[in-house]
Amino acid sequence: MADGDFKSYCLNPTKPKFTPPPGAVDAHCHVFGPAAKFPFAPERKYTPYDAGKEALFKLRDFLGFSRNVIVQASCHGTDNSATIDALVNSGGKARGIAVVKPTVELAEFNDMDAAGMRGVRFNFLPRLVDATPPEVHLGVAKKIAPLGWHVVVYFEAPSREKITPFLKSLPTIVVLDHMSLPDAKKGVDHPDFQAYIRLLDENRNLWVKVTGPERISAQGRPYDDFVPFAKALVERFPDRVLWGTDWPHPNMTTHMPDDGVLTDMIPRIAPTAAQQRALLVDNPARLYWER
């Protein structure tokens, strides 16, 4: 397959050697369509291949996970139907993160909550969405706070300073996607990543997903340069980290990751059984199932 010419996710992942502990959660994945049933949003910035709930649940079982957190992706805009359909057909084994219009009323949030949604996502990547003013996002965050929901924020490392006042203004737990895409070439000791660690140190409502080796690594497989970043965060913030596959891996340009290989990276970033249990079981359970 030519670089960037991806017609699907990895169809034959490797069986991982690592066995996730009972109750382990893949806390960052998506469903796409199928487009015939759940059309993609007209305002989308990319059109993915179909990647429906059946394939996601099969992957969950194959990799040895118990549950999923399904994050609404930008290609579906603010129509959460595909994600909700996956949640309500998961037998309680999935929770979700929605993307909503700022005008959403409480009744709609209550319906989404009943379906398994537990938060909203604010996306700041220009390649994925048109910009929304932070004060509009803040209005949504204030609406969802009383539900016990949280906020997921996707931004890139160069935006850290600009976005910090917004992050500090949020009244909920805030989960940062993909470690906010650090520059792997700079390394963990660079002032940029050290400032990121300080941000988490100083704001105890911030959590972080130690996900995205296929996006963050500058070296590519086996993603060795990703490991020190994720490991540093797991060590320092053991009770505020989450892990996920990011299946079905939209917008990959260099290669399509093997989800079994990604799963086998877990012991490299969380070497002890206690770290693995916190990362994969206790932290996501607290945030998504025990509210």
Under the binding rule (CB under 6 A), the answer on residue 82 touching ligand 0GY is: no
Query: Which of 27, 56, 69, 73 lies at the binding interface for ligand 0GY (CB under 6 A)?
Result: 73
Under the binding rule (CB under 6 A), the answer on residue 152 touching ligand 0GY is: no
Which one of 26, 50, 246, 259 is the catalytic residue?
246
User: Pairing relation of β-strands 25-29 and 150-154?
Assistant: unpaired
Under the binding rule (CB under 6 A), the answer on residue 14 touching ligand 0GY is: no
Token pair belonging to 141: 């965050």
Query: Which of 223, 246, 283, 288 lies at the binding interface for ligand 0GY (CB under 6 A)?
Result: 246
Q: Are the beta carbons of 98 and 122 closer than 8 angstroms?
A: no
**Of the listed pieces 34-42, 56-64, 218-226, 245-253, which binds ligand 0GY according to CB under 6 A?**
245-253
Length of the chain: 291
| 224/38 Cα distance (integer angstroms) | 37
Under the binding rule (CB under 6 A), the answer on residue 74 touching ligand 0GY is: yes
Under the binding rule (CB under 6 A), the answer on residue 31 touching ligand 0GY is: no
Under the binding rule (CB under 6 A), the answer on residue 250 touching ligand 0GY is: yes
The sign of the dihedral angle between the CA atoms of 167, 106, 136, 68 is positive
| 108/49 Cα distance (integer angstroms) | 29
Q: Is 5 a catalytic residue?
A: no
- Helices of type H across 221-258: 227-236
Under the binding rule (CB under 6 A), the answer on residue 128 touching ligand 0GY is: yes
CB nearer to ligand 0GY: give 50 or 246.
246
CB of 30 to ligand 0GY, least distance (A): 6
CB of 108 to ligand 0GY, least distance (A): 20
Phi, psi angles (nearest 5°) of residue 223? 65, 35
- Report the site for ligand 0GY in 33-72 (rule: CB under 6 A): none
Query: Which of 25, 51, 59, 75 lies at the binding interface for ligand 0GY (CB under 6 A)?
Result: 75
The 8 Å CB, 24+ separation contacts for 107-114 are 109/143, 109/144, 109/147, 109/149, 110/147, 112/80, 112/84, 113/147, 113/149
Under the binding rule (CB under 6 A), the answer on residue 251 touching ligand 0GY is: yes
User: Pairing relation of β-strands 241-242 and 174-176?
Assistant: unpaired
Q: Which of 40, 112, 105 is nearest to 76 (CA)?
A: 40
Under the binding rule (CB under 6 A), the answer on residue 244 touching ligand 0GY is: no
# of chain residues touching ligand 0GY (CB under 6 A) = 11
Q: Give the interface with ligand 0GY as residue ranges (CB under 6 A).
A: 30, 73-75, 123, 128, 177, 215, 246, 250-251
Catalytic residues: 246
